[in-house]
Structures are given as structure tokens and as C-alpha cells.
Structure 1
Amino acid sequence: MRKKTGSMENFGKGFIQALLAYAVQRDISIKRLCEASGIDYAALQQQKGYIISPEKVNSLWRNAAHFSNDAHFGLHFGESMQLAALGIIGQIISTSQTVGEALSQASTLVPLLTDLFSVEVNYQETSFQVILAYDVQKRHAFPYTFRHMADYLMVFALHELDGLTMEKLKPLAIGLTGTESLREYERIFSCKIHPNQDEIFLEFPMNCLAIPIFTANYDLQKVLIEQVSGLVQPASKDTVWQNKIYNYLLTNAYLYSQSLENVAANFNTSPRSLQRRLKEEGVSFLDVVDKVRKTLSISYLSSGNYQVKDVAYTLGYNDPSAFLRAFKRWTGTTPAVYRQQNR
């Protein structure tokens, strides 16, 4: 029992640290955010047994959304967080063979993250629903945690299944308890939205359960997590936005390339405004994407014996030959030759 409690504490602490790291990406001061939420940041970093109360977590979500001026902070945080960043939780999920097994594993692990929700799977004739069951009293006691954590869990689960299956999974529908602006939900989930429901759910076709998990992408995510601190670009007053976008794409690399629309939404701005800001700095969005792909490809190829096709797919190239051409343009040589020269 003691071991389980320690795991819960470590995981909860890791999750809060990940949330704070994302807040920094959104130009929020950690010191200001923690002080406003009643959290001792130094203790969080240094004291192994430091515990944040549910009231302070609720305040943290509220202040993060307020300081970022982002009512969908939880949604955007879920978009940005990688499975590998969750440590042992990610390792357990990554050992699943299929989507069905991964969901079964995840349902037992959600309590390590929050006691507001539990995961249930409701099987129907041609579809199944992943339901976030919740405690009604706690929903009312901690409304900001409830709102943002529910959004986070839904979008994080969907995006990571995309990455682990090498497929773009599309829900049939989602259900929400509120009547918030639905535009961001429509952008992220690309399906029918049912607001003002008694349950929070994601509904998928039944055949999704048998889709196999592609663990190579999880392994590549772990490599990125380990090396990312040495790859990010420092802030510069002349390249503020291109550095922001570069670092965001770098630290949140997924199976598919992040679109201009998705990246702009994560920074709470419009695609046109983001393009204009990058143009003022002398680059385009595609220039930044190309630079990130180059950095990641070199990092991945230098870190292990991953197949070139796996690296290509992870970087968003559906055709490995397109990746080979791009890599030669970046380095003047092929991935195989580069790997041999840099062992």
C-alpha cells in the first residue's frame, strides 16, 4: 500500500510540473501562477513528499486559464502533452497490443491523476463509448479542475492514440456536460458535439478496438523527452514568435505534423495573425516546421537503431522517399550514411 501511495504522489507531482511547464510555453510566470494558487514552487521542486491540496489544484487551473486568457486551457494542454512524459503510466499503456487493451490499462490509471473521474467503457452494437464518470459533489466543489481536467483527458487520450496507432482516429461523437463555445471542440475532435449531457464521453466505431499499437513512436517520444532541454532555442527579442513555434513543435512532436491552425489555436491567436508575426521576423510557418523536422531527424537517428521509415512516419512523412529527399537537402547525405558517420 505504501508503494502505491508513493506512485500516486510522484505521478501527481509530475503532472503538476508538466502543467507548469506548459504554462511557461504560454508566457505565464511560474512564480506568479504558483503564488496566486497558494503553491510553494520551491517545495514542489525540492520536497519529495510535498502535496498540493485539491483546493490549490482547482485554483491552479483557474489561474492558468485566466493568465493565459484561454478558456480552453485544458484542451490545449492535452494537445501538447506527450504520453512519454507521463513516465511509468506511459510505459504501461505502451505495452498494450491494441487500442482496446490500452483503454483497459488507462481506465485503471486515471485515479493516479485525479479522483474526480473514473473511466468506463460502454460497448454498443456498432460503437463503444469511453465515459468519464465523475463525482457530482466534487464537480461542484472543484469546478475548474472538473472542466479543464475533463477536456485534458479527452483530447490527450485521442491524440496519443493517434500517435501510438499510426492512424488518425476520428470519434463518431463526443458528449459534454456544459454548453461552452463548441468551436475548439469541433476543431480538435472533428465530429458531432453533444453539449449539456449528463455524461462526458468519446464515441468510436467498434472496429477501433482492434487497431494495433505502434510502440516505435512511443520509444521515439521518450528519446525526445530525454534530449529536449538541449534542443530548444533560447528566447530572442528579434525572433520571439519563431522561437515560440519552434520550441512548441519540438517539444510536442506527434505522429502527424501540427497544422498552422492547431498551433495558432494553442497560442490563442488566429492563423492569419500568427503568419503575420512570423513574416515580420523573416520566416514562414513552413520554414519553422522544416527546421524542427531537421532537428528531430538528426536527434532520432543519432539516438538508436530506429528504422528510417519509423522516423519518417513520426515526423509526418507518409512516403519515406520524401523524408530521404528532405534529409539529403538538410545534411547533404542519406540517413544511413549519416548514422554510420556519427556513431
Structure 2
Amino acid sequence: MFPSPGSSTERGREQAPTAVAVLTRLAAAQLSAQGIDPEPRMIEAGLSPSLLDNPDERVPVRRQIAFLNIAADELGDDLLGFHLAQSFDLRALGFVHYIMASAETLAEALAYQELYGVFANEALKIREGSGEGVSLELSYVGVERHLDRHQAEFWLTTTLRQCRLFTGRELVPTSASMVHSRPGRVAEMERYFGLQIDFGAELDLLAFARDTKELPLTTGDHFLKELLAGLHRKAFPYSAGEAGSLRTRVENAIMPRLRHGTPKVEAIARDLGTSARTLTRRLADLGISFSEVLDELRYQLAVQYLRDGTSTVSQVTWLLGYREPSASVRAFKRWTGKTPTAFRRELKRGAGR
């Protein structure tokens, strides 16, 4: 049987990046509001319940993602990150929110998010787009993108809220996309964003039209901006480096390519700015191969998709990059000893216990 995700066979992982625990606390509060004790769920995700009472305690991003998945299941809320982003007090984000609000234009606000966002979440590399309009792209560093859904939806929804608040306008993006898949339309989210969201895309992206780039912010404050930037330089006289293992970077490069079929090592190497030979050698130094990384990633995604219950077996086959159902069946039997249909039944029985 294939080793389970999180097992000791996952080699090449480095120290996990951390984040301010705002999202963890919001999810815990939502559980409590529904009469569900969050502490056992936090412990299950590897989190200490003490962080609920310590506003300065940071949380490992991978564990925060695990807790969000557990909380969403407990609450029966498949859009938990999106829902939390709509209702919380944006000021809870602290420094990053205030320095964005102090900017003079929308483009400058997003540039500040790119510059300072890493201090709020070390796993999220934020890049302000360079096109004619203004846009924001997310990429994951040190955390496997395929594990996440709620955090990405929370971050992009929160950014849209901030853009609307700062400009005093009900801005509608020209495009919005997310790397994770959601079969079918997500009407509630699309009503909020004002457009159809492209799931299963190659980028986590929020983009606005050209005429929004120089929109003035109603919250702009030059003196506050200079004060905050100066305080931040004194408090953090270093630059947060890019954490993250080679294996994680390879997985994150593979994921958006899967919907196009089985990715080749040559294509992934190009995405990472190296050669196939160098990538193969560096993975070998970690005791793993490209095919092993691809195979285990497919297994983890398969379990995730089948547990969600929103995708048919044929859709899961396509999402994993298989173009023939027989190839998917052979892979499942190798991983689990069962067909995809039988494995899904087993997951459902386990959930009902």
C-alpha cells in the first residue's frame, strides 16, 4: 500500500513557514459559535490551543491549513475561508492592513502587500502584476499548494474586500483564478467577486482593469505610511528569505500542469529555472526521484478529491492528469489495493464511524 501523506517517507521537507494566527483564531471562533469545542480539533491539526489567548503567537502554515480543513468538515462549510474573509474585522491583520490602507493609490497598496505580506504569512509569496492594469498573484513557498483551499480563498477574498474598502468603490475584477479545483460553478463566490472564477488554473490571481491602477485611496495617509515603514525597518532589519524544500517547489510546479496530462521532468525543470539533469540530480541527493514525487502527489490529491465527494471518479481521473481511466484504476490499485470506487466507499464508511 502507498504510504500515507505526512508519513516518515516524506523526505526533503524543511522547517515549515509560519503565519500570524488570525485565520486560525477566526476558524476556532466559528467552531465555538456553533457549539463545537475547537481545542480537540486544533490538537488534531498539531496546534496548541494556547495560541487562542496569545495574540503574538504565530502558527505553522501547514498546520493552519490542516486545521481549516478539519474545521470546514466539522462545520459542513466547504467555503469556510471565503465566508470568514467576508465577515472579520480587517484591522485584525495588523501592520500589513494599515500600511496598505495608508498608500496613495490602489497599485501602491498592492505593492505594499507584495513587500510586507511575507511577514503576515511566510508561505505566501505575493507578486504585484506587471500588466496594464493592477493585479495580485500568489505562489506558495515551503508549503505544498495542493494541501490548501480555504487559506487561498480567504486571502484573495480579503484582498478584494480591502481594495473595495480603500477605494470606496465596489470594484469588480477583470479576472480571478485559483489553482485548486472546484467542479462546477461556485455561485455564491462568483456573486461576491462579480465574475466567473477560473478554478484549476495555473495561477492564484486577482486582476483589475487598467483604469483602477491609479485610483486614489480614501484611506491614504502619507504621514502614517512613513511612520509605519520606519517602525517596520527598525523592528525587522532583515529580509525574510524564501523558505521551502526542493520537493515542495517541485510539487507546486507539478500541480497546475496536471490538468494538461502527465507533466515531464523537462517542463517542471524549466518552470523552476533549471535543467532536467540538475533537477534530477538534486532530487536524487534527497533520496527521491521525480517520478516518486509525482506519484505521491497524485495519491494525496486523489484522497483529497475522493474525500471531498464533489468530483466523480472520471473527473478525479482527469484532475490527476490521467487520460485513460484504466491508468487511474491501475494507480489506485497500486496505492491502496482497491479501485477508485471501492476506495471512495471505504472513505465514506470511515467518515460515518
TM-score, normalised relative to structure 1: 0.53
Q: 1:200 to 1:13 in 2, by over 3 A?
A: closer
1:35 aligns with 2:43: yes
**In the alignment, which residue of structure 2 is the partner of 1:117?**
124
Q: 1:55 to 1:204 in 2, by over 3 A?
A: closer
1:182 aligns with 2:182: no
Structure-to-structure mapping, 1:260-299, within 5 angstroms? none
- Gaps of at least 5 residues in structure 1 are 1-7, 217-343
Name which structure has the greater RCO, CA cutoff 8 Å, separation 6+.
2
Q: Is the 8 A contact 2:41 2:71 kept in 1?
A: yes
Structure-to-structure mapping, 1:219-238, within 5 angstroms? none
Q: Is the 8 A contact 1:15 1:113 kept in 2?
A: no
**In the alignment, which residue of structure 2 is the partner of 1:198?**
202
* Corresponding residue SS for 2:21: helix
Q: Is the 8 A contact 2:105 2:217 kept in 1?
A: yes
1:65 aligns with 2:68: no
Counterparts of 1:148 and 1:43 in 2: how far apart (Å)? 20
* Aligned partner letter, 1:131: E
**Number of residue pairs matched by the alignment:** 203
* Corresponding residue SS for 2:126: strand
* Aligned partner letter, 2:129: N
Aligned Cα root-mean-square deviation (Å): 2.8
Counterparts of 2:88 and 2:30 in 1: how far apart (Å)? 8
- Gaps of at least 5 residues in structure 2 are 1-16, 221-353
Structure-to-structure mapping, 1:73-92, within 5 angstroms? 73-92=80-99
**In the alignment, which residue of structure 1 is the partner of 2:108?**
101
**Structure 1 residue 58, shift from structure 2 partner:** 2.5
Q: In structure 1, which of residues 45, 58, 79 is the aligned counterpart of residue 53 of structure 2?
A: 45
* Corresponding residue SS for 1:60: helix
Counterparts of 2:157 and 2:102 in 1: how far apart (Å)? 21
**In the alignment, which residue of structure 2 is the partner of 1:159?**
161
* Aligned partner letter, 2:82: L
Q: 1:47 to 1:193 in 2, by over 3 A?
A: closer
**In the alignment, which residue of structure 1 is the partner of 2:145?**
139
Q: Is the 8 A contact 1:81 1:156 kept in 2?
A: no
* Corresponding residue SS for 1:185: helix
1:211 aligns with 2:237: no
**Structure 1 residue 64, shift from structure 2 partner:** 1.3
* Corresponding residue SS for 2:138: strand
Counterparts of 1:122 and 1:56 in 2: how far apart (Å)? 29
Q: How many percent identity over aligned positions?
A: 20
Counterparts of 2:108 and 2:100 in 1: how far apart (Å)? 8
Q: 1:193 to 1:85 in 2, by over 3 A?
A: same
**Structure 1 residue 148, shift from structure 2 partner:** 1.2
Q: 1:200 to 1:54 in 2, by over 3 A?
A: closer
Q: Is the 8 A contact 1:116 1:134 kept in 2?
A: yes
**Structure 1 residue 130, shift from structure 2 partner:** 1.6
Q: Which moved more, 1:100-109 or 1:54-63?
A: 54-63
**Structure 1 residue 22, shift from structure 2 partner:** 4.0
Q: 1:113 to 1:51 in 2, by over 3 A?
A: closer
Q: Which has more helix, going by share of residues? A: 1
Q: Is the 8 A contact 1:82 1:160 kept in 2?
A: no
**Structure 1 residue 137, shift from structure 2 partner:** 6.2
* Aligned partner letter, 1:71: D
* Corresponding residue SS for 1:215: coil
Q: 1:20 to 1:112 in 2, by over 3 A?
A: farther
